[in-house]
Structure 1
Amino acid sequence: MIAVIGSNMVDLITYTDIMPKAGETLEAGRFAMGCGGKGANQAVAAAKLGAKVTMVSKVGDDAFADNTIANFQSFGIDTQHVRKEPGFSSGVAPIFVDSNSQNRILIIKGANSCLSPKDIDDAAEDLKKCGLIVLQLEVPLETVYYAIDFGNQNNIPVLLNPAPASKELDIDYACRCDFFVPNETELEILTGLPVKTEEEIVLAAESLLNKGLKNIIVTMGSRGVLWMSENQKELIGAYTVDAVDTSGAGDAFIGCFAAHYVQCGDVSSSLHEANAYAACSVTACGTQSSYPDAARFTEMRKQFDQ
């Protein structure tokens, strides 16, 4: 079983040919609303691929809360540790997607900011049954650190996706994780080093490995995925697809990696599957709605192997 300890959001997605300038009002072509948030997306991706997932998260006491919980349950995700926080809104994420399928995202954390170490203690007995804990940075850092300590104390592997990137992240805590999974932009923020070329990305990743990271996995969009550890370096090229919407592709990658890794325990194999799954996700609109289930992924995967 996988435990995702983290955020949920309501995605408010606007599709537009051009972005407005300061003070400008433009008409956009289309709007959609869906369930999102990095933690929720990763949980749904893993569940769609057949993994057993338990979610530890907070929703508000607004109209979005019951819909978010019902959405988790529709994918078979255990929601007994998804709690309502009185006096807070649920998290929301306005997303703007341009004609080149690039996205710009704002997040309002809402009840996500209330997820606390106590919530982990309350879920402890269920968390101890898990084979992997997945974390992100849309909830308080103290809760992330507490979850890392919990995983270490109970010999549960921990994956940390440092998104959105924060310079306040304690790298010593990141080094206690089994997997550290930034994209190239987050890597640049965390290291202060350039990441314009693959060579620069490698150097930036090495700077974190030198601080004690066990495994760093850098998702690089159209350039593929880089995995580095003390004795390992593997670059997995990206698949060429007709991208429609890149929103949530990184979360799709992590959810698939988690689902595959808890089954096989092989990092390289899990990365190849996750790379293909993320490519599939960008061929449809939305975040969770773009994630194929196991049967659909198998069919789409065949096209990549031809």
Structure 2
Amino acid sequence: MASKIGVVGSNMVDLITYIDRMPGPGETLEAPVFEIGCGGKGANQAVAAALLGARVMMVTRVGDDVFADNTVANLGRYGIDTRHVRKVPGRSSGVAPIFVDPSGENSILIVKGANADLLPAAVDEAAADLAACRLILMQMEVPVETVYHTIDWAAQRGIETLLNPAPAAADLQLERIRHVTFLVPNESELALLSGMPTGSREEIVAAARFLVRQGIRVVIVTLGRRGACLVTADTAVEIAPVAVAARDTTGAGDAFIGAFAHFYVKTQDVLASLRQAAVYAAHSITRAGTQKAYANAQEFASFRQTHAPDLPVV
């Protein structure tokens, strides 16, 4: 069985401003620090998995602007297969202005740019290489029709898929995603998809079980500082968080998913992989930035030994 991870998803240029507070309407404030980095939910998840040692390929689109070549080169530096990363003439690359407050919490805007041109035909063009993947990751920073097409294409070939339904999209049709293997929403995305409250653990499990009844095999709800919750038709298991001092929470969810993908493809053990992913995501928020905050395999092993010494090495 193939051991490669495919990512059909987005890339962004992160424009990160560290602020003391957000300005009000008509107000101008000075901010202490600004940085530019590579991001986007698809690229972030690909980088996290690759840093841990996974074989990763990416299907994505960049603009024909000053950011494009750097984005492709950045993916290549992590060993990600970029043969299906293409430029779109006349388009900007995707950008994400990010504002991070002193507590590490962030507010993010996204401009899709060339990500909006990642159409179903791109999946067909990459079919031979995607067919060699064990797991394909998707997110909602690209056209929804591409997500639907990828899920259907993979289901027909017996390839497992993971959808991170973020940013939340009210028009996401449950009927069109029912063949996805893993759905990984946060609480607000779960509420939007299910139409049910998610204010308590019982409500989260009930909402997730509703999605499972639609055909989705596994729902993994990310809960930020409270960890995560794994829900299937007959199981609901809490994934404990790891306590750390947060510096920047940007990209933590993507770190979690990328790490889960790596460990799941390696072990086929969902629960063990989620526990590893929770530790990896905790490490990511101790550093500033997105991809540059992610640990490689050696750094993660050291952090795990210190912060989760009872967690088995996989």
Task: Tell me what 1:216 maps to.
Answer: 219
Distance, in Å, in 2 between the alignment partners of 1:207 and 1:107 is: 30
Letter in structure 1 aligned against 2:65? D
Distance, in Å, in 2 between the alignment partners of 1:305 and 1:146 is: 39
- 2:207 pairs with 1:204: yes
Gaps in structure 1 of 5+ consecutive residues? none
Shift of 1:237: 1.4
SS in 1 for 2:67: helix
SS in 1 for 2:104: coil
Shift of 1:114: 0.3
Shift of 1:189: 2.2
Shift of 1:67: 0.1
Task: Tell me what 1:237 maps to.
Answer: 240
Task: Tell me what 1:263 maps to.
Answer: 266
Equivalent of residue 284 in structure 2, options 257, 281, 286: 281
SS in 2 for 1:251: helix
Task: Tell me what 1:159 maps to.
Answer: 162
Q: Deviations over 1:86-138 (max 9, x none)?
A: 01000000000011111000000000000011111110100100110100010
Distance, in Å, in 1 between the alignment partners of 2:285 and 2:34 is: 18
SS in 2 for 1:63: coil
**How does 1:1-306 map onto structure 2 within 5 Å?**
1-306=4-309
Q: Deviations over 1:21-44 (max 9, x none)?
A: 111111111111100000000000
Segment of structure 1 superposing worse, 162-171 or 200-209: 200-209
Letter in structure 2 aligned against 1:288? Q
Shift of 1:303: 1.2
Shift of 1:196: 2.6
Distance, in Å, in 2 between the alignment partners of 1:174 and 1:161 is: 11
Q: What RMSD in Å do the two structures reach over aligned CA positions?
A: 0.9
User: What TM-score, normalized to structure 1?
Assistant: 0.98
Instruction: Tell whether the 8 Å contact from 2:205 to 2:236 is kept in structure 1 after alignment.
Output: no
Distance, in Å, in 2 between the alignment partners of 1:196 and 1:232 is: 19
Shift of 1:17: 1.2
Segment of structure 1 superposing worse, 85-94 or 206-215: 206-215
Distance, in Å, in 2 between the alignment partners of 1:150 and 1:206 is: 25
Distance, in Å, in 1 between the alignment partners of 2:88 and 2:101 is: 34
Gaps in structure 2 of 5+ consecutive residues? 310-314
User: What TM-score, normalized to structure 2?
Assistant: 0.96
SS in 2 for 1:247: coil
Letter in structure 2 aligned against 1:120? V
Distance, in Å, in 1 between the alignment partners of 2:58 and 2:133 is: 11
SS in 1 for 2:96: strand
Aligned residue pairs, count: 306
Segment of structure 1 superposing worse, 91-100 or 164-173: 164-173
